[in-house]
């Protein structure tokens, strides 16, 4: 093996006989020249030739420089190479989901490279100027294309497009077939590099390698390849080279030499990975279908270590097997989750809430959870035992299930984002302490959006849609496909303006939205499987679940208790800027009324950083103000009867000890308006025993 000085995509594969010069030389195949097709009858050495080709390339190139994909449709002839560290996957004929995934992975590789090298002359130019980010060569093998054509004819057009586009972007194809008629004409014209082993009809040799071929012995591994003799291409006879495994000392028969070489290379690469763990990320991604169950904990970052760009992991991507992230800054700021019933919409929102709470502090992210459905279905009641529910997470400012609660939240959100309201409330520290909403983002997450009509009895969804526009407020809405058909819904339109949607299961809805992606859906998808759509591009994802039984040997309830319990133990609860239960002052500020200074009311607690001396001084000043105001109430200007109309009001006897408005009565009990005992009044300055002047 020589992985320090990588060669071009050439492979030494055997010995070629040149009778014109009476010499034998090494047979070399250069995959970067043209796509290669190999013909030959069954048992004549096509699969062996492929194994020699791939093994030779693997010995010359490290897994950083070379990735391999194989469609093994010839009775498992390539399985001996499964251990190669370069191999992304060897896919059998009956593994439809893996076949489709392999083709999508190759297409995505080509498209990604096409985008990244636009500013460069070629792929080679990009790799030379970006040695740390150089793209590896990709070799794709299709062993027995006739089976591919028969079983997966719907993908034949995709295969030809990949072969046509791939070479310019470092993706090289090798295909085998038993007969020339097994390869469609359009595909045959793309495969301009050709070799052949024994064929049942000798006249087909001319079709494959051209005129001038000589007959050769029918021996496995013996065939014809076009080689240059001088400056003229001529079909020459060759013999495929194969590795030879020596028998053991105790006489045990030798095993499969290809398998042994693959395992030795795998062990060598494992040693390199142990010394440098960063190499693990450079190996090819495995060609494996998305799992039906993805534990959310497997994609979460460390507690409090969320992505600063607000890319929130909630599942797994299909193409690269990296965490699927809801990217609220790069692709948001809002997100819609839709799908048919029982497809996992509430699961998505639960996972989002847990991921936000796990990745960020309450000073960075706060949440309002809205669900108008019945108690059993409300997504914020999800959790472990006791109080370990989503509603009890320290990041949750409020939960909403009816119109009154929604009105309360809308008003409090106004105190977060409306500058005029904030200005009117500033200084009322007994009810309002402004939070840093430049640093904190508030998520309003609504589930069961189809059932929100009862919330419209007050300020409603229109009021919620008007709050926080252009500020650090994010909307997340979950419902069926029907919510996208409502034309007059301002809140839904605001969320939809981001054109960022997760569509669960329904591929037809994705097509209706005009989105395109590298996937084909031929059967019903499992719950939690969906399409992440941004504008007109879509990708296949699987949503994570926080309650998958058996993870780390724990039950689902134990996992939830641990996950939510760790978050609750770490943080103090988030707070509204307007934190008082009584909304009177907030209502006045929203109406535009300036708040009057509170007289005699309870003093607000001083800020934590204020010293004890300052606190005592503040209390003393408040007491002086209270005494001054109380004294002024004792002197009442005499009313001039000429300036007023006179109305006599019969005042019923009050029970002893109960006056009006909290004043003191003549007997020392509570009277009106805070007058002195000897000067009890009826609220207008006149003695309580006399008629009031109007």
Q: Report the distance separating Cα 636 and Cα 455, nearest Å.
A: 50
**pLDDT digits over 96-150, tens only?**
989 988 998 999 999 999 999 998 998 888 999 998 889 999 999 999 999 999 9
Over residues 161-170, the mean pLDDT reads 94
Query: Fold match between 18-106+135-267 and 294-570?
Result: yes
Beta bridge partners of 66: 137
Is residue 64 helix, strand or coil? coil
CB 361 within 8 A of CB 440: no
Least confident segment among 48-62, 210-224, 298-312, 486-500: 486-500
Least confident segment among 276-280, 319-323, 402-406, 614-618: 614-618
User: DSSP characters for 299-360?
Assistant: T--STT---TT-EEEEEEETTT-PEEEEETTTT-S-EEEE-STTSSHHHHHHHHHHHHHHHS
pLDDT value for 610: 38
Has residue 598 got a pLDDT over 90? no
Q: Report the distance separating Cα 415 and Cα 421, nearest Å.
A: 6
Cβ-proximal residues to 228 (8 Å cutoff; 6+ apart), any chain = 234
Question: Using N-to-C axis directions, what is the helix angle for 403-417 and 584-591, rounded to 10°?
Answer: 60
Cβ-proximal residues to 642 (8 Å cutoff; 6+ apart), any chain = none
Which one is the CATH code of 294-570: 3.40.50.720, 3.40.50.970, 3.40.50.300, 3.20.20.140? 3.40.50.300
Has residue 239 got a pLDDT over 80? yes
Has residue 511 got a pLDDT over 80? yes
- Host H or E run for residue 108: helix 96-116
Q: Report the distance separating Cα 619 and Cα 625, nearest Å.
A: 10
- Does the predicted TM-score (pTM) go above 0.85? no
Residue, of 642 and 619, whose pLDDT is higher: 642
pLDDT value for 246: 66
Has residue 423 got a pLDDT over 60? yes
pLDDT value for 611: 37
Over residues 336-362, the mean pLDDT reads 95
Q: Report the distance separating Cα 659 and Cα 297, nearest Å.
A: 63
Beta bridge partners of 370: 400, 446
CB 666 within 8 A of CB 677: yes
Has residue 606 got a pLDDT over 90? no
Q: Domain 18-106+135-267: which topology? A: Rossmann fold (3.40.50)
Q: Please give the structure tokens belonging to residue 341.
A: 């019933």
| Residue 644 pLDDT level (bands cut at 50, 70, 90) | very low
| Residue 388 pLDDT level (bands cut at 50, 70, 90) | very high
Domain ranges of the chain: 18-106+135-267, 294-570, 600-633, 637-694
Q: Report the distance separating Cα 289 and Cα 607, nearest Å.
A: 56
Q: Report the distance separating Cα 452 and Cα 479, nearest Å.
A: 10
Phi, psi of 526, deg, nearest 5? -75, 160
Is residue 130 helix, strand or coil? coil
CB 9 within 8 A of CB 29: no
- Host H or E run for residue 421: helix 419-425
| Residue 373 pLDDT level (bands cut at 50, 70, 90) | very high
CA-based nearest residue to 345, from 396, 382, 395, 299: 382
Has residue 48 got a pLDDT over 60? yes
Cβ-proximal residues to 545 (8 Å cutoff; 6+ apart), any chain = 293, 294, 295, 296, 347, 351, 528
Residue 193 gets which letter from DSSP? E
Tokens 């934190």 sit on residue: 579
CA-based nearest residue to 51, from 258, 218, 300: 258
| Residue 253 pLDDT level (bands cut at 50, 70, 90) | low
Q: Report the distance separating Cα 535 and Cα 532, nearest Å.
A: 10
Question: Positive or negative CA dihedral for 40, 42, 48, 53?
Answer: positive
**pLDDT digits over 428-482, tens only?**
999 999 999 999 999 999 999 999 999 998 899 999 999 999 999 999 999 998 8
Burial class (CB in 10 A: 0-12, 13-18, 19+), 179: middle
Residue 140 gets which letter from DSSP? E
- Host H or E run for residue 295: strand 294-295
- Host H or E run for residue 424: helix 419-425
pLDDT value for 311: 96
Q: Report the distance separating Cα 638 and Cα 651, nearest Å.
A: 21
Residue, of 244 and 270, whose pLDDT is higher: 270
């Amino acid at each position: 093996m020589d992985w320090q000085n990588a060669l071009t995509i050439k492979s030494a594969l055997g010995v070629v006989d040149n009778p014109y010069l009476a010499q034998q030389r090494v047979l070399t195949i250069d995959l970067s020249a043209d796509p290669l097709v190999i013909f030959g009858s069954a048992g004549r050495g096509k699969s062996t030739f492929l194994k020699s080709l791939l093994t030779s390339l693997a010995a010359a190139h490290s897994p950083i420089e070379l990735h391999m994909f194989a469609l093994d449709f010839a009775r498992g002839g390539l399985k001996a190479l499964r251990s190669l560290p370069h191999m992304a996957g060897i896919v059998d004929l009956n593994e439809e989901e893996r076949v489709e995934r392999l083709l999508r992975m190759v297409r995505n590789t080509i498209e990604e490279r096409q985008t990244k090298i636009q500013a460069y002359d070629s792929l080679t130019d990009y790799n030379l100027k970006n040695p740390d980010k150089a793209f590896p060569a990709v070799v794709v093998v299709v062993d027995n294309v006739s089976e591919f054509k028969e079983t997966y004819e719907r993908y034949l057009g995709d295969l030809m497009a990949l072969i046509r586009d791939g070479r310019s972007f470092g993706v090289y194809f090798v295909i085998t077939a038993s007969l020339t008629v097994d390869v469609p004409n359009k595909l045959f014209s793309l495969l301009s590099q050709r070799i052949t082993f024994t064929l049942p009809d000798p006249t087909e040799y001319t079709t494959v390698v051209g005129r001038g071929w000589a007959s050769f012995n029918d021996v496995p591994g013996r065939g014809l390849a076009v080689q240059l003799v001088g400056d003229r291409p001529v079909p020459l006879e060759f013999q495929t080279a194969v590795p030879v495994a020596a028998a053991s000392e105790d006489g045990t028969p030798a095993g499969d030499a290809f398998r042994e070489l693959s395992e030795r290379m795998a062990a060598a690469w494992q040693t390199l990975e142990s010394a440098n763990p960063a190499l693990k990320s450079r190996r090819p991604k495995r060609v494996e279908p998305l799992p039906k169950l993805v534990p959310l904990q497997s994609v979460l970052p460390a507690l409090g270590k969320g992505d600063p760009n607000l890319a929130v992991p909630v599942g797994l991507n299909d193409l690269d097997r990296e965490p699927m992230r809801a990217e609220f800054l790069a692709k948001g700021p809002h997100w819609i989750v839709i799908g048919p019933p029982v497809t996992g919409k509430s699961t998505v929102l639960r996972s989002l809430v847990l991921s936000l709470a796990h990745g960020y502090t309450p000073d960075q992210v706060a949440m309002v959870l809205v669900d108008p459905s019945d108690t059993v279905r409300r997504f914020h009641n999800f959790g472990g035992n006791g109080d370990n529910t989503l509603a009890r997470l320290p990041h949750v400012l409020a939960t909403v299930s009816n119109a009154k609660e929604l009105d309360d939240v809308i008003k409090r959100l106004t105190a977060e984002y409306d500058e005029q309201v904030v200005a009117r409330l500033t200084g009322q520290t007994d009810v309002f302490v402004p939070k840093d909403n430049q640093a904190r983002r508030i998520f309003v997450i609504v589930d069961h959006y189809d059932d929100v009509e009862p919330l419209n009895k007050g300020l409603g969804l229109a009021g919620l849609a008007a709050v926080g526009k252009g500020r650090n407020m994010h909307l997340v809405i979950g419902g069926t496909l029907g919510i996208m058909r409502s034309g007059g819904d301002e809140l839904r339109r605001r969320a939809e303006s981001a054109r960022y949607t997760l569509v669960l299961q329904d591929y037809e809805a994705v097509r209706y939205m005009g989105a395109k992606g590298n996937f084909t859906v031929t059967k019903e998808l499992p719950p939690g499987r969906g399409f992440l759509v941004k504008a007109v591009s879509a990708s296949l994802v699987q949503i994570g679940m926080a309650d998958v039984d058996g993870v780390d040997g724990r039950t689902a309830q134990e996992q939830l208790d641990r996950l939510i319990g760790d978050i609750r133990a770490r943080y103090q609860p988030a707070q509204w800027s307007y934190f008082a239960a009584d909304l009177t002052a907030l209502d006045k500020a929203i109406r535009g009324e300036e708040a009057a200074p509170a007289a005699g009311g309870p003093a607000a607690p001083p800020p934590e950083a204020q010293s004890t001396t300052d606190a005592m001084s503040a209390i003393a000043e408040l007491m002086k103000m209270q005494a001054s105001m109380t004294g002024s109430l004792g002197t009442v200007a005499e009313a001039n009867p000429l300036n007023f109309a006179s109305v006599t009001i019969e005042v019923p006897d009050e029970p002893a000890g109960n006056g009006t408005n909290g004043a003191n009565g003549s007997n020392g009990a509570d009277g009106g308006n805070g007058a002195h005992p000897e000067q009890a009044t009826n609220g207008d300055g006149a003695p309580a025993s006399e008629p009031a002047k109007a």
